[in-house]
Amino acid sequence: SELVKKVVDVAATFVDVFEEVASTVATLDVLAGFADLVAVAPAEYVRPEMTPMGVGDIVLEGCRHPCVEAQDEVSFIANDCKLKREDSWFQIITGPNMGGKSTYIRQIG
């Protein structure tokens, strides 16, 4: 009724504030998740060296999937991946079901 309309009208004036608060809380949630993961990780994480788009190779050494690695009772093996321009335009990933193909692709991506 009239009260509900007034409440909605007042709340509508705060939409931008609510969106900004939601964005800030989401960012804090992600950063807290990273901090929690790093605190219990079995090995240190490193920050990648980024190159401009279209330049350089993708070289990952000892790459790990953080979500899989954080699970209890999961033995995770780090992987290396070298995607070098002019040498390897693509890779074919093969293996048995439940062999880690999707996990490997996600950790590279």
Percent of the chain exceeding pLDDT 90 equals 31
Question: Rounded distance, CA 45 to CA 66, Å?
Answer: 9
Burial of 63 (0-12, 13-18, 19+ CB in 10 A): middle
Asked whether residue 27 carries a pLDDT value surpassing 80, the answer given is yes
Question: Rounded distance, CA 109 to CA 97, Å?
Answer: 20
Q: What is the torsion angle, in degrees rounded to the nearest 10, for the CA atoms of residue 48, residue 54, residue 56 and residue 61? A: 40
Confidence of residue 15 (pLDDT cuts 50, 70, 90): very high
Asked whether residue 71 carries a pLDDT value surpassing 80, the answer given is no
How confident is the model at residue 64, as a pLDDT?
A: 84
Confidence of residue 59 (pLDDT cuts 50, 70, 90): confident
Question: Is the pTM for the entire model greater than 0.85?
Answer: no
